[in-house]
Chains A and B, each alone.
Chain A
Amino acid sequence: MTSPDLARASERLVGTRMRRREDERLLTGRAQFLDDLDFAGYYEAAVLRSPHAAARIRGIDTTAASAASGVVAVYTAQDLGPILHDLPPKVTHPNLNRQTRLPIATDRVRYVGEPVAVVIADTRYLAEDAAELIDVDYEPLPAVASTGQALAAGAALVHEGSESNVAVHIVQQAGDPDTALLAAPHVVTETFVVTRGGGHSMEGRAIAARFEPATGQLTVWDATQTPHYVRQMLAVLYGMTEDEIRLIAPADIGGGFGPKAQFYGEEAIIPWIAMQLGAPVKWIEDRWENFVSATMERAQTHRVQVGFDDEGHLLVLKDVFEHDQGAYCVGLQVPTITMSTLPGPYRIPHIHSELIACYTNMVPTSSLRGAGRPQAVVAMERMMDRVAERLGLEPDEVRRRNLIQPGDFPYAVGLLFRDGSPLTYDSGDYPALLDEAARRIDIAEFRVEQARARTEGRLLGLGFGMFVEGSGLGPYEGARVRLTNGGRILVLLAASPQGQGYETVYAQLAADAIGVSIDLIEVRHGDTALVPFGQGTFASRVTATAGPAVWDACRQLRGDLAAAGASMLGVPLDEVEVTGPGVRVSWAPRRALTLREIAAVTNVGRHGMSLPDDLPVAIERTAYFKPRRAVYSSGIHAVIVEVDAETGKVAVVRSVLGHDCGTMLNPLLVEGQMLGGYAHGIGNALYEEAVYGPDGQPQAASYLDYALPTALEVDRPELFHVESPSPLNPLGVKGAGEGGLIPVPAAIANAVEDALRPFGARITQLPVTPSRVIGALRGQDGA
């Protein structure tokens, strides 16, 4: 990244804690989230959803609803024939037991919340009134509401006609794990359960659409993380070309975290209805709908065995886990990520990783911040502390003895990554993470304090969690940079943000790459009309993919500006510099051109006039970055908790969070991601549980029952950074969006168990609720 014509280090914006440009509108209430957008003459939609986890639909009578006040139309499956096509999963596997997923239920419902009918009316109030008048004749059927139930002999089938409720069964091996287990001097075995949870971005899902018959253009506004993916799905479904559909992710989206990166039935239905009615239609998911129909995640049960020697060297890791896929396979990314995250930062010669993904009668699961990694970290890191316990080692020491060393990169783990390529870590410094965390938490000092506290009847505990996280996924990401006629630089991103600060960080990058003042640079994003190809914001991938694309496009654009300036100023190319407001002669700075002056010639031109050979015209550059393979962030959480053994309440006393995301383009934003992720980690570790009853009825479908952490539950952790730039992209960047969350549930569970060690209580289920702590002390697992 260092080259002589770049800005001087003191002027560089990349690497600085620049405050955000998007904040002003967000602070003053002038942001435009999808529900704030006004479309002349629009109607609102309400979706009628199944109240049963499993049922046959014998008939639907919409007569009363259609006649209700303010209702324009009512749609059920029979009215949606042309779009009743299978919605393929986002990520699949050759062994997947594929079951059809339609945009709306036809004759069966398979989870509470599944769409059954859509009402279009003048207002949401009236649409909801009418939805209540729809008479659906359900014949309830037995449901399965856990992977255990789904796999039991004689279990009801989520999909009739399927052989079983298994969605996919995948085994990955490195070495010879069965032999290694038999030969290992020590083996520890445990089963860990992680319960379902949701993302709960403060803005739910939202879609609006408008069709313009005069041009045949369908415009869809969608609070999605993946505009091009949605557009492609619609193009196929509607039999339209991609250019006939413009998918706009609004400039402001209220959080994403994964559930907004999937493709839902509502996204298929609402735009189609807008086309049928010839009027704009808006659907805003309310919070109850978000609870029962936005994808969830996390529910897994891991049966883990670790074999090791007397020094605590890991010899073999065997993990067989059940993954709750929900009623349909929206995508297999989560469990396949779990598989590849399992070995973490350790050298493990023999690995057996086995996934049994199950269909269940609950809302489908798919990526949600962490996306399967925290569960893998629970399996691995809980076992590391058990290994430490067995051998009487401290938790940092047992890890230290097994870490992949800095000289080992690129390191081939022996398994396959989610993209099918060999899992190969690019760079990292795991010992640095561990040593720094251990130094800050001061284990020796803690043990003294822990012992003293015990004499006072207070229980303190220490836990560690480490992880390696694949990020920066392919296949590619794109950016387009243009000199506008008015003399500004427009950076156009294919991906859409939901709070990550793209308008700031990519302006920083562009300013450094081009050399002009950042005040001349504007960033726009998430509109398929701006950049034709893209993948989207998920899996902490954008910095590592869009970043290099922006850099590349901007460097090329800079070259064009320099060439244009040189031509117009009549000097050789190596005698101009791009800086400040435009281009100037380096030895005669007063001889300068603003960008506007350049654009007047290169872009606007004069009608019919010829231009010199050496003058570039129509200054715009597009670049796509195609990562060779994923890059690997890493991190660690060291935490001290205090447990009240009488009430089961767990309080975090001290938290140290370390992270390595390679080069940091804006450290302020990176910290924001870590701190935000940490709050999700606290939620997952201690509070959030989307419980379903055995009949598949959601028990926690409001914030009265589902506890999101507030500022009182989340104290600021101590942060530290290690920077191991990735060799796989020119900026050396890696993902930062999930590292704050990934190690936290495991570390906290480890710490609680450490606090309760004198009682021999075992913590094997997350979240660690007060009831589970007391249950563990009484010798029972679970609540």
Chain B
Amino acid sequence: MAEEILPGDTVAHGTVADADQREWVTLTVNGSRQSGYVDARMTLADFLRRDLGLTGTRLGCEHGSCGACTVIVDHDKAVRSCLMLAVQAQGLAVETVESLAADGQLSPLQSAFREFHAVQCGFCTSGFLMSLTARLREGPILTREQAREALSGNICRCTGYAGMVEAVVSVSRAAEGAA
């Protein structure tokens, strides 16, 4: 059953499937309402990438282990978008990496990643930024041990994580200092 399309909605193209394998889904992505038909089996990750053109969320393993696909759901939960069906996001609010830089300005976390050389190939970066953004909403990360724990749900094959540890701690300390 199609839901009503409201003015200002963005409607996804969707994929073609048999009617009983197709679902109408409405969710909020980066603050905007999105609606569309999706294959019931389509993952949230593929929906974001293909149907909404938000390619910042990446596919590294498609079985929930590497974290490259991490997004934030309902403000405080970092989740693997490859382990959610798009239809399961019905009515939820999803944030992707594209939402972090406001008005073209890098967020403090993004700037710190650059400052401390926490990015090399960049493929894992979106997932790390979303995991960390969710974690930082719970409270600051002030020690290296806390940082390593916060980073442990994502895999990077390029940087060895050291720059990320420094970036994360510096962001929290700066925020504490400014507070």
In the complex, are there CB atoms of A and B closer than 8 Å? yes
Q: Which residues of A contact B (CB under 8 A)?
A: 19-20, 22-33, 35-36, 70, 122-123, 125, 199-203, 252-255, 257, 286-287, 498-501, 668-669, 671-672, 674-680, 702-704, 708, 710-712, 714-716, 740
**Is there an interface contact between A19 and B115, defined as CB atoms closer than 8 Å?**
yes
- B96 — which chain A residues lie within 8 A by C-beta? 29
Q: Does B97 contact A (CB under 8 A)?
A: yes
| Cβ contacts under 8 Å, A740 to chain B | 160
Cβ of A672 and Cβ of B163 under 8 Å apart? yes
A679-B120 in contact (CB<8A)? no
Question: B28-48: which have CB < 8 Å to A?
Answer: 39, 41-42
A70-B17 Cα distance, complex, nearest whole Å:
10
User: Does B122 touch A at the CB level, under 8 Å?
Assistant: yes
Given A501-B120, A712-B148, A714-B161, 10 additional A-B pairs, CB 8 A: A200-B157, A672-B158, A672-B163, A674-B160, A676-B120, A703-B66, A708-B66, A710-B151, A711-B164, A716-B160
Partner of B154, one of A31, A679, A680, A710: A710
A131: shortest Cβ distance to chain B, in Å?
16
Task: Give the shortest distance, in Å, between A698 (CB) and chain B (any CB).
Answer: 15
30 A-B interface contacts by CB (under 8 A): A19-B115, A23-B113, A24-B106, A26-B122, A27-B101, A27-B106, A27-B129, A28-B106, A28-B110, A29-B56, A29-B97, A31-B122, A200-B157, A201-B123, A254-B124, A255-B158, A286-B59, A498-B121, A499-B121, A674-B160, A676-B159, A679-B159, A711-B149, A711-B152, A711-B161, A711-B164, A711-B165, A712-B148, A716-B161, A716-B165
Please give me the residue from chain A that is nearest to B100 by CB atom. A28
In the bound complex, residues from chain A placing their C-beta under 8 Å from that of B120 are 255, 499-501, 672, 676
Cα(A590)–Cα(B122), bound, Å: 43
Chain B: CB-nearest residue to A706: B65
| Beta-carbon contact of B60 and A287 below 8 Å | yes
List A contacts of B63 (CB < 8 A). Answer: 287, 702-704
Q: Is the CB of A675 within 8 A of B162?
A: yes
CA distance A737 to B15 in the complex (A): 43
Measured CB to CB, the closest approach of chain A to B42, in angstroms, equals 7
Main secondary structure of the interface of A (DSSP, over half): loop
Nearest chain B CB to A652 CB, angstrom units: 13
Closest residue on chain A to residue B155 by CB atoms = A708
Interface residues of B, dominant DSSP: loop
B49 neighbours in A (Cβ, 8 Å)? 35-36
How many B residues, CB 8 Å from partner? 57
CB pair B152–A671 under 8 Å, yes or no, is: no
Could you tell me the distance in whole angstroms from the C-beta of A338 to the nearest C-beta in chain B? 23
Which of the listed residues B15, B55, B58, B123 has the most CB atoms from chain A within 10 Å of its own CB?
Answer: B123
CA distance A501 to B122 in the complex (A): 11
The distance from the CB of B102 to the nearest CB of chain A, in whole angstroms, is 11
User: How many inter-chain residue pairs (CB < 8 Å) link A and B?
Assistant: 181
Is there an interface contact between A676 and B158, defined as CB atoms closer than 8 Å?
yes
Q: Check if A201 sits within 8 Å of B157, measured CB to CB.
A: yes
Indicate if the CB atoms of B114 and A27 lie closer than 8 Å.
Answer: yes
Task: State A156–B160 Cα separation when bound (angstroms).
Answer: 42
Complex contact A125–B121 (CB within 8 A): no
For residue B119, which residues in chain A have a CB less than 8 angstroms away from its CB?
A: 20, 23, 26-27, 499
Do A252 and B157 have beta carbons less than 8 Å apart? Answer: no
Within 8 A of A (CB), among B110-160: 110, 113-115, 117, 119-126, 129, 147-149, 151-160
Q: Complex: how many Å from CA A33 to CA B100?
A: 20
> In the complex, which of the residues B42, B59, B115, B163 contacts A125, with contact meaning CB atoms closer than 8 Å?
B42
Contact A253 to B152, CB < 8 A, known contacts A28-B101, A716-B162: no
Bound: A23/B165 CA distance, A: 17
A716 and B164 alpha carbons, distance in the complex (Å): 11
Chain A residues near B100 (CB-CB < 8 A): 27-28
Q: Beyond A125-B42, A500-B120, A678-B160, is A19–B152 a contact (Cβ under 8 Å)?
A: no
How far is it, in angstroms, between the C-alpha of A252 and the C-alpha of B158 when the chains are bound?
14
| Contacts known (A27-B125, A125-B42); A675 close to B163, Cβ less than 8 A | yes
Q: Does B61 contact A (CB under 8 A)?
A: yes
By beta carbon, the residue of chain B nearest A200 is: B157
Known: A27-B119, A125-B41. A202 touches B160 (CB 8 A): no
Instruction: Kindly report which residue of chain A lies nearest to residue B99, judged by CB atoms.
Output: A29
Are B160 and A254 in touch, CB under 8 angstroms? no
For B123, what are the chain A residues with a Cβ–Cβ distance below 8 Å? 33, 201-203, 252, 254-255
Contacts of A30 in B (CB 8 A): 56, 98
